[in-house]
Structure 1
Amino acid sequence: MNAVVVAVAVMLALSLARVHVVLSLLLGALAGGLTAGLGLAETMKVFQTGLANGAQIALSYAMLGAFAVAIAHSGLPQTLANAVIRRIDRSHVRDNVPSGAAGIKWMLLASLLAMSVMSQNLIPIHIAFIPLIIPPLLLVFNRMQIDRRLLACVMTFGLVTTYMWLPYGFGEIFLKQILVGNITKSGLNVDGVNVMHAMTIPALGMVAGLVIAFFSYGRRRGYETLTADVDANRKAIDTPQMSSYRSAVAVAAIAVSFAVQLWADSLLLGAMVGFAVFMAAGVVKWGDADDVFNKGVKMMAMVGFIMIAAQGFAEVMKATKEIEQLVKTSAEIFGGSKGMAAFVMLLVGLLVTMGIGSSFSTLPIIAAIYVPLCVGMGFSPMATVAIIGTAGALGDAGSPASDSTLGPTAGLNTDGQHDHMRDTVIPTFLHYNLPLMVSGWIAAMVL
């Protein structure tokens, strides 16, 4: 059997069986290397060589985590959350549903969507905003009978669509460093490809899924108002406002970080400069800098380790020299049908990401296999970027182990009335993965 197929099958089976992803990647690489006759020592040597390829990406993630914790340390996210809650409280939504409830509902949904989008680039704190924003608002959501499945879909849309389309913040890591970087390493020159253009059609599939979610979950749904909801709401209202100086420094640090990122085309440098602004202004004191930095690294460490291990896995796949044989066999099976080839590649990407739980970690694995296959099947460089980018993003929404589903559940289930599988995983899977499969396939056919 083909060594690449064996490696991916072992890795996927172990991941689905809830074996830790890093261990699954290592065991899958060993299975593929031994099947190809590399031997244990040679397979481990190649795997370890590949680990170096993920170091820059992991370091960018760690630095971004430190910057995110510094932003939270400044109190800016709490200030924004409490301002929203106080404004709604003045509208008496806590006590009854006023005549303008529809307008307040749409304001809440739009604000939540905007926060989810900005958490990926402008204020790159990823899912860290959710436990700050959502629990105090649960009382409001209950009073207005907003279906929490819709809220989960709104947040997941912002978390996923933003990084898979906008090349800033986390999108800079996903689109430029991982997607384009691994495609280039696999031998395809994509210098002239506009990555936003390539991912626009798949992103429109996500938009379609969000629109459908409003029809699916737009009706009222009742929830009990529990003590936990009332306490979280009251605590947020009674929390003293942070100093305007700390908030101003946070805004300045974010602006400087974003400007440096655009100027130097480096998320790592932007996050580093932003963190330095917090320290220079005294918001993060010298004595607290180590603690803040360590918390940020811990927050992003697991994703970083997975991405490093994924690079090692990909390196072993290349070393087996059986990718070319897999491409030839696949071309024969597809019978020259580009439509069938695109569908199968997207489906495999969905399965791999569902197992691993991280679209960022999926790309290095599938790029090594998909680039030769796409070239052999006659796909254009633009279509190749769209196929691999979509295959990587597929499964992030709807994976039980993904940050994009775990984050919303952590906020919405504070009072125990939101089931992770039934109310987050299944709704986001149906409303985003299915439209993304269709739109990704269309992109492969027309680009």
Structure 2
Amino acid sequence: MELYELRTQKSRILHDEARKFLPGGVTYAIKYWEPYPIYVSRAKGSRIWDVDGNEYLDFWMGHAAIIMGHAYEPVIRAAKEQLELGAHLGFCHEWEIKLAEIVTKMVPSVRLFRATNSGTEANMYAIRLARAYTGKSKIAKFEGHWHGGYDALHKAVNPPLDKPASLGLTDCVMNDTIVLPFNDLDGVRQKVKGENLACIILEPVMGSNGMIPADREFLKGLRELCDELDILLIFDEVITGFRLAKGGAQEYYGVLADITTFGKVLGGGIFPAGGFGGREDIMELLDQTKRKHYEMSFHGGTYAGNPLTARAGYTLLSELIKGDAYPKINALGEKARKGLEDVFSRHKVSAHVTGVGSLFAVHFTKEKPRDIRSAIGDTKLAKDCFYFMLNNNILCMKPSKQVFAPSVAHSEEDIERLLSVMEEFLRQVPI
């Protein structure tokens, strides 16, 4: 900690100032770590520089939103041009059509699409739509899965799972949300029995809580169960969408959702964005030309689908649809996972790597985690690892668990650097 503070004096000064105006000194608690976070001055490619001039190899990449690297030139050029033409109009424009069209091309289960301002909004509207379509109130989510700050999904996110995920959540909302065990189909069957659910929502890869992928057979079984019980299946692809493959997790797993939610990559990696889409018979409940307002599922938003964000998103997806990015970033993820497992094996440390494609995370646990409960490990060792990485100019999230999401801008040498620093950490830290 002493070394960190010596290297980041200007960040400390900024954080002292931030605490005067921002609760906790940050705009989102995940950005904070003790005794204060770094403050970034610029970013390019796979690198970030803080206000003290330290250069970092960035593996967090804007919460996994940045797939081509920081300040990706084609998106920057498109955004600059659109700024001159109008960033926010409040009227229809061609870029919302182009964005919706390319999303439907990339994700086969999405026949119609609507844009939102965030992944949280996308999940909120998707849940409402599922309730409207089915006429049912109750929904289900999985332990440890993060779907943003929407009340109905803000349950059983972090341990202890029986405690409220936030103050201000009402009992009536919480009682309509059933919590399910991840990667346990028999457990899911028992939990949903007799519940008459509108939908089940999940992250195909449990993201910020440790990049733990769903078992392929679990997802297939869940799809069959939803069909059997007339429950809509919602995939939260805010992280996995357009990152695991062109068609996201649905392409990777070969399992289709009824409704899919998006975020992060959808904004071109630079603007706040989200969206949701699905089957025509479901999405047509949003069609104002077919229904009176009280017969519709409402969706809207002042900035939803604005031309600046839509053009940035379309520009990025136009590159990703070519498919060239995925072999590279997925190979980087595989190299990192295999390399880290090898390092842990050589040092005989109880640690494991989870993930798929370009996404991965380190867990200091005795067994390889399959869910949030088995991901609870040695928090002190995880924290020590985080600060060692930080002091050796590698950025990841978070102190409790190291999560990584490399981009096309990363190289094999960057992965080698990560492996080297992890090796050095295990040499120096008594285990």
TM-score norm. by structure 1 comes to 0.28
Larger Rg belongs to: 1
**Higher strand residue share:** 2
**Higher helix residue share:** 1
TM-score norm. by structure 2 comes to 0.28
Highest RCO, 1 vs 2 (Cα 8 Å, sep ≥ 6): 1
